[in-house]
C-alpha cells in the first residue's frame, strides 16, 4: 500500500510521503482555501472555508442554536460542549452525504472557522454578537468547551476542526479593520487580549485565524510577534494558521507594509500563515518562490501543517476506520438537537427587571397585547452566520402555542425597526390601555449590527454609533407608557430586548415592569420566550457583558486601552446592568463562605440557598480583588464560575480551588507578577459592584486572604 494511504502508519510518515509526491505547483495550490484536486494522486478538492458559529452555517438545513453571545449568557461550559458536539455531528453527516453526491463546495467541509474569542470590549462593535463576552476567563472557558465539542475525544481523529479567531487584538471598528493598527498597553495586551487564545491553544484547537488589522505595526496574518514568537514559540501551538479572508491582500493595498503582492505572500508565509483565505497565494506564491522571497522549504512547512489537519479529519482514510464518518443524516435537526436549542434559549435569557414579580404571567392576565417591530419576524431569532432551520418560531408563534386557553391576545406592530412611522395614527396605545399586559419586542436585528458587509441597514458597516435603543422604538414605548399613565390603567409593560450587544435603556428600566434580554435566541426563540413568560420555565441567563447607561459613558470606540471599559475598569456610576447579573423566578441567597489554605492552593466554598417557592438555576461566580495598594488593577476579576440547580427550599454548596496563578497580576510592562498583600475573594450572583446590589442581585459573601509575594518564572 502507498504509505500516505496506509492508516496504520504514523501520521508524520504519511504526511512526509504525500509531500514528497507533489510538484512545487501542486504544493503551492494546496495552501489556498479552495485547494484543487490532485487527480493523478487521487486527492479530492477541498474547501477549507466553513462556518459553525451557532450551528452549521450557510449549508442548508441545520439546527440553529442561540447566537454565540446568547450561549455565553448560559455561563455553562458543559452545555456549550454538548451543543458544539451536536453541531459537529450535523456537520459530519452533511459533509459525508455531500461527498457521496460528488459535492465538495464551500461550507460543506469539516474545518470550521469558529469560535470567535475576541474580547467584546465595546458594545458598538457589530461582530460582538459572535463572541463569548467581555471577560477573558469567561471567553476562555466557554471557547475551550466549544472546541472540545467540535473536535471530539477520539485519540486519532478529529470530529471537526475548530479555529480560534481573530488573533489577536481585534474588535472594531469594522469600517477600519483593513487598515488600523491596534497598539494596546503591554498590560492590556497580556491581561485582556491574549488569555483566551492561550487557553484554546492549551485545549488543542486545530487552527488559529489571524485578524485583518495590524498589532504594534505588524499585520496580524504576517506578524512575527504574534505567529512565531508567541503562538508557536511561547505557547507551543502545533496546528495551522489561516488568514482572515483577503487579509493578506491588505498588506500592500491598505496597510502599506509591503509593496507588491509577491512580498505580501512571502511575509505571510515566512511568518507562519499556512493557509490563505483569499487570492494572494493563488496569484503570487509561485512567483515569490521564483523571486527567491520564499523557499520550497517554507512551502513544505505550511503544507505539512495543513495535510496533518486533513489526515486527522480522516480525509485520506477508509470511511470504516473513521468513527465519525458513519453519523447518519437523520441526526440533522433531530429531536434531541431541537430540545438542546430550546433549552439553550431558555438558559440564555437574562431577566434584568421584574417589579413585584410580574413575571411569570399568571391566571390574572386575561387580555394580552403583543407589539413591536420584532414580534413576528425571523431575523431577530438568527443573528449572523446561521443555518436554515425548517422550524423557526417567532414570538407571535410561541405565544400562540403556549398561551393558556381563554387568554385574549392581539397584535399591533406599533413602530418600524429603525425609522419613524409616516402614519401618525396610533391604535397600539388604545389597545395597550385595554390590556392586562403588553409584551413589547424591540431592540436590534442582524440588519442593523454585524460584519462589514452583512448588516444592510447599518450606515457604519455593521457597527453602531450609539448604544441606546433606536429613537423611534424608544419613542413608541414612551407613548405606550404615557397612554397607560393618562388613563390610569393597571396595564403591565414587559419589554423583550433583542440583539447581540448591550443596549442602554435607562428610561425603559424606569417605566417598564419587566425587562428581559433575549439576544438572538435561535430557532426555538419564540417557543422559549413564551415558555418563560408563562412560567413553564424560568429564565436562566446572566450577562456576559456590561450594559452602560449611555454612549457618553464609553471611551472612544477606536481606543484599545481597557481604561474605563468592562466591569473590570468601568466606573460603577456609568453601569446600568453589571456583568454577571440576571434575575430568576425564585429567591436565592449566599452564605457560609469558607476559606481553607493548603500550601499554595486555596479552597473556596460557599452555600447557595433557595427560599423561594420553585427550584431555580444560579450561576455562582467567584471574583478576586486586590492586592491592596497595587495601582492600575481591575476593581475585581472573574476567577471561577459554576452553574448550579438549587431545589425548592434547598441548598447547594459551590467549591473551587485557586492556585498561585489566580493571584498573579500583569504589571505595566506586560509581565506576570505575584505580589504579596491582601486579596478579597467574593462569591455571588454578579460582579461585586454596587450596581448589582441596587438591582436585586443576591448579596454576595466575601473573605480576605493574605498572600506572600511569589517570584514568577
Are the C-beta atoms of residues 258 and 249 closer than 8 Å to each other? no
**Nearest-5° Cα angle at 17, 11 to 22:** 125
Among the listed residues 639, 619, 641, the one whose alpha carbon sits nearest the alpha carbon of residue 685: 619
Give 633-637 contacts, CB < 8 A, sequence gap 24+.
Answer: 633/665, 634/568, 634/569, 635/567, 635/568, 635/569, 635/572, 635/689, 636/567, 636/568, 636/680, 636/682, 636/687, 636/688, 636/689, 637/137, 637/568
E-strand stretches of 647-699: 651-658, 665-666, 672-673, 677-684
Residue 565: half-sphere exposure toward Cβ, Cα within 13 Å = 20
* Beta carbons within 10 angstroms of residue 334's beta carbon: 17
User: What DSSP string describes 86-135?
Assistant: HHHHHHHHHHHHHHHTT---TTSSSBB---B------TT-GGGGGS--S-
Q: At what angle do helices 11-20 and 296-312 cross, to 10 degrees?
A: 130
Residues with a known catalytic role: 244
With contact defined as beta carbons under 8 Å apart, do 112 and 51 qualify?
yes
Answer whether 556's CB lies under 8 Å from 564's CB.
no
Q: What is the DSSP letter of 678?
A: E
Written as nine digits, the cell of 274 is 499556512
By DSSP bridging, strand 163-167 and strand 207-210 are: parallel
Angle between helices 261-270 and 280-290 (to 10 degrees): 90
| Dihedral pair phi/psi, residue 227, rounded to 5° | -85, -40
Can you tell me the distance from the alpha carbon of 607 to that of 56, in angstroms, rounded to the nearest whole number?
Answer: 40
Report whether 437 contacts 495 (CB < 8 A).
no
d(CA 569, CA 56) in angstroms, rounded, equals: 36
Under 8 Å between Cβ of 67 and 276:
no
C-alpha cell belonging to residue 475: 419613542
Note whether 70 and 382 are within 8 A (CB): no
Taking the C-alpha atoms of residue 398 and residue 515, their distance in angstroms, rounded to an integer, is: 18
Give the closest residue to 38 by CA, choosing from 238, 240, 310: 310
Is residue 191 a contact partner of residue 211, using CB atoms and an 8 Å limit? no
Determine what percent of the chain falls in helix, strand and coil, rounding each to the nearest 5.
Answer: 35, 20, 45
Q: How far apart are CA 695 and CA 580, in angstroms?
A: 12
Amino acid at each position: 500500500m502507498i504509505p500516505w494511504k496506509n492508516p496504520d502508519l504514523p501520521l508524520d510518515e504519511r504526511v512526509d510521503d504525500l509531500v514528497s509526491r507533489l510538484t512545487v505547483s501542486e504544493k503551492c495550490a494546496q495552501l489556498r482555501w479552495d485547494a484543487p484536486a490532485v487527480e493523478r494522486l487521487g486527492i479530492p478538492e477541498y474547501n477549507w472555508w466553513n462556518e459553525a458559529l451557532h450551528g452549521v452555517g450557510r449549508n442548508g438545513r441545520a439546527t440553529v442554536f442561540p447566537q454565540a453571545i446568547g450561549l455565553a449568557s448560559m455561563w455553562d461550559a458543559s452545555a456549550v460542549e454538548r451543543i458544539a458536539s451536536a453541531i459537529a455531528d450535523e456537520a459530519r453527516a452533511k459533509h459525508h452525504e455531500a461527498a457521496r453526491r460528488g459535492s465538495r463546495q464551500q461550507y460543506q467541509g469539516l474545518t470550521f472557522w469558529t469560535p470567535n474569542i475576541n474580547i467584546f470590549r465595546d458594545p458598538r462593535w457589530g461582530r460582538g454578537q459572535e463572541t463569548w463576552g467581555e471577560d477573558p476567563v469567561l471567553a476562555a472557558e466557554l471557547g475551550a468547551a466549544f472546541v472540545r465539542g467540535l473536535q471530539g475525544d477520539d485519540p486519532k481523529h478529529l470530529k471537526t476542526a475548530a479555529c480560534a479567531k481573530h488573533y489577536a487584538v481585534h474588535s472594531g471598528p469594522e469600517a477600519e479593520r483593513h487598515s488600523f493598527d491596534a497598539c494596546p498597553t503591554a498590560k492590556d495586551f497580556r491581561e485582556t487580549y491574549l488569555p483566551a487564545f492561550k487557553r484554546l491553544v492549551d485545549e488543542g484547537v486545530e487552527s488559529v485565524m489571524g485578524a485583518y488589522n495590524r498589532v504594534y505595526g505588524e499585520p496580524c496574518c504576517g506578524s512575527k510577534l504574534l505567529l512565531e514568537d508567541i503562538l508557536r514559540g511561547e505557547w507551543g501551538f502545533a496546528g495551522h494558521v489561516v488568514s482572515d479572508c483577503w487579509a493578506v491582500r491588505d498588506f500592500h493595498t491598505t496597510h502599506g507594509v509591503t509593496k507588491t503582492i509577491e512580498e505580501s505572500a512571502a511575509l505571510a508565509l515566512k511568518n507562519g500563515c499556512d493557509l490563505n483565505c483569499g487570492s494572494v497565494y493563488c496569484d503570487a506564491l509561485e512567483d515569490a518562490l521564483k523571486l527567491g522571497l520564499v523557499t520550497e522549504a517554507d512551502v513544505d512547512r505550511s503544507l505539512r501543517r495543513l495535510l496533518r489537519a486533513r489526515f486527522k479529519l480522516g480525509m485520506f482514510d477508509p470511511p470504516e476506520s473513521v468513527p465519525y464518518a458513519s453519523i447518519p443524516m437523520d441526526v440533522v435537526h433531530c429531536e434531541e438537537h431541537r430540545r438542546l436549542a430550546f433549552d439553550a434559549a431558555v438558559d440564555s435569557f437574562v431577566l434584568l427587571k421584574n417589579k413585584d414579580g410580574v413575571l411569570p404571567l399568571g391566571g390574572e392576565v386575561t387580555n394580552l397585547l403583543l407589539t413591536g417591530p420584532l414580534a413576528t419576524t425571523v431575523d431577530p431569532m438568527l443573528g449572523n452566520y446561521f443555518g436554515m432551520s425548517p422550524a423557526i418560531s417567532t414570538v407571535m408563534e410561541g405565544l400562540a402555542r403556549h398561551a393558556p386557553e381563554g387568554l385574549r391576545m392581539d397584535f399591533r406592530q406599533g413602530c418600524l425597526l429603525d425609522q419613524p412611522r409616516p402614519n401618525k395614527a396610533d391604535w397600539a396605545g388604545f389597545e395597550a390601555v385595554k390590556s392586562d399586559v403588553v409584551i413589547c419586542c424591540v431592540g436590534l436585528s442582524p440588519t442593523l449590527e454585524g460584519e462589514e458587509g452583512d448588516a444592510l441597514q447599518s450606515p457604519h458597516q455593521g457597527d453602531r454609533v450609539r448604544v441606546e435603543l433606536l429613537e423611534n422604538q424608544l419613542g413608541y414605548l414612551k407613548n405606550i407608557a404615557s397612554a397607560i399613565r393618562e388613563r390610569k390603567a393597571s396595564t403591565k409593560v414587559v419589554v423583550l430586548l433583542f440583539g447581540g450587544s448591550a443596549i442602554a435603556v435607562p428610561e425603559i428600566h424606569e417605566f417598564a415592569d419587566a425587562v428581559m434580554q433575549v439576544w438572538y435566541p435561535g430557532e426555538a426563540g419564540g417557543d422559549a420566550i413564551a415558555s418563560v413568560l408563562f412560567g413553564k420555565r424560568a429564565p436562566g441567563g446572566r450577562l456576559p457583558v456590561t450594559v452602560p447607561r449611555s454612549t457618553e459613558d464609553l471611551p472612544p470606540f477606536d481606543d484599545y486601552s481597557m481604561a474605563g471599559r468592562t466591569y473590570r475598569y468601568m466606573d460603577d456610576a456609568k453601569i446600568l446592568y453589571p456583568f454577571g447579573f440576571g434575575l430568576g423566578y425564585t429567591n436565592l441567597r449566599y452564605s457560609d463562605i469558607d476559606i481553607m489554605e493548603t500550601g499554595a492552593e486555596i479552597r473556596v466554598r460557599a452555600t447557595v440557598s433557595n427560599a423561594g417557592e420553585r427550584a431555580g438555576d444560579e450561576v455562582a461566580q467567584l471574583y478576586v480583588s486586590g492586592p491592596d495598594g497595587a495601582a492600575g488593577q481591575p476593581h475585581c476579576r472573574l476567577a471561577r464560575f459554576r452553574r448550579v440547580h438549587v431545589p425548592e427550599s434547598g441548598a447547594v454548596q459551590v467549591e473551587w480551588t485557586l492556585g498561585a496563578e489566580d493571584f498573579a497580576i500583569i504589571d505595566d510592562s506586560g509581565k506576570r507578577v505575584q505580589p504579596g498583600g491582601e486579596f478579597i475573594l467574593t462569591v455571588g450572583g454578579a460582579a461585586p459592584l454596587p450596581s448589582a446590589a441596587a438591582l436585586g442581585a443576591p448579596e454576595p459573601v466575601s473573605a480576605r486572604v493574605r498572600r506572600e509575594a511569589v517570584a514568577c518564572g
